[in-house]
Amino acid sequence: MFLLSCLFLLLCSLITVNASALTTPIAANERLCFFADVDKAGEKIGFYFAVQSGGSFDIDFEVKDPSDKVILDGSRERQGDYVLTANTVGEYSFCFENDMSTLTEKLVDFDIMVESEPRRDAPAKPGQISDQTSSLEESVFRLNGMLMNIKRTQKHFHTRENRGFSIVKSIQNRLFWYCVLESLGIITMAVLQVYVLQTFFTKTGRRYKV
């Protein structure tokens, strides 16, 4: 238990992650930006997004560094998973733009992660077993990598589920309005037929000689 506790504390000291997971609607012709601070050069930035619903499930995106230089962009992308190296300290911007759509609102799920992984320090106490600690650290990092893959897979299935639900809902709405219009057309034709037959047999003022 003591070894596991030490390993957990060591892992917490090795990895520092600042993340924000959000789901936001983006209206038609809207540009929406989010920002993340990087404290030192060399930190890793993880950027993931997926369009959950709306239109063709696509969006334009753009990532800029603190000097307003575009370091990553894309047009009509459905989803993306990127890892960037922050070479400049400051505020990075992550923007989504829904210019291609004039009426449809998009729902976007995204994560922004700023991660720092400093080097391991040498054991502070001579009694510590560095070989066992190193092997346990490698095992924990492998487990962490597998957990991250599971998380990405869950996000992928979550996105597919939301898109499937959005498509089914859109088809359901279209079928509903199609049935409503079809019913109105049938009722209108029936009323017109009754009116025509009624006026045909109730004509007055004319005489017919046989």
SS3 call for 143: helix
SS3 category, 15 = coil
CA–CA dist 157, 150 (Å, integer): 11
Question: Nearest 5 degrees, angle CA 176-CA 181-CA 186?
Answer: 125
Residues in the chain predicted with pLDDT less than 50, given as ranges, are 1-19, 117-123, 129
Quick one: tokens of 58? 């696509």
**Digit-coded pLDDT (tens) for 145-158:** 678 778 777 777 77
User: Going by DSSP bridges, is the β-strand pair 79-86/106-116 parallel, antiparallel, or unpaired?
Assistant: unpaired
Alpha carbons within 13 A on the beta-carbon side of 111: 17
Beta strands 90-97 and 31-38 are antiparallel
Per DSSP, 19 falls in state E
pLDDT of residue 55: 80
- Name residue, tokens 């892992």: 11
Q: Cα(90)–Cα(122) distance, rounded to whole angstroms?
A: 31
Coil/strand/helix, residue 206: coil
CA distance 85 to 73: 15
pLDDT of residue 10: 44
The domain ranges of the chain are 15-117, 127-202
Distances from the Cα of 180 to the Cαs of 6, 19, 189, in angstroms?
A: 67, 47, 14
Distance CA 37, CA 20 (A): 12
Q: How much is the pLDDT for 130? A: 53
Considering only CA atoms, which of 116, 125, 110 is closest in space to residue 77?
110
What tokens does 64 get?
């800029």
Q: Which residues of 173-183 are buried (b: 16+ CB within 10 A; e: fewer)?
A: eeeeeeeeeee
Model pLDDT for residues 90-108, shown as the tens digit of each residue: 999 999 999 877 788 888 9
Q: What is the CATH number of domain 15-117?
A: 2.60.120.680
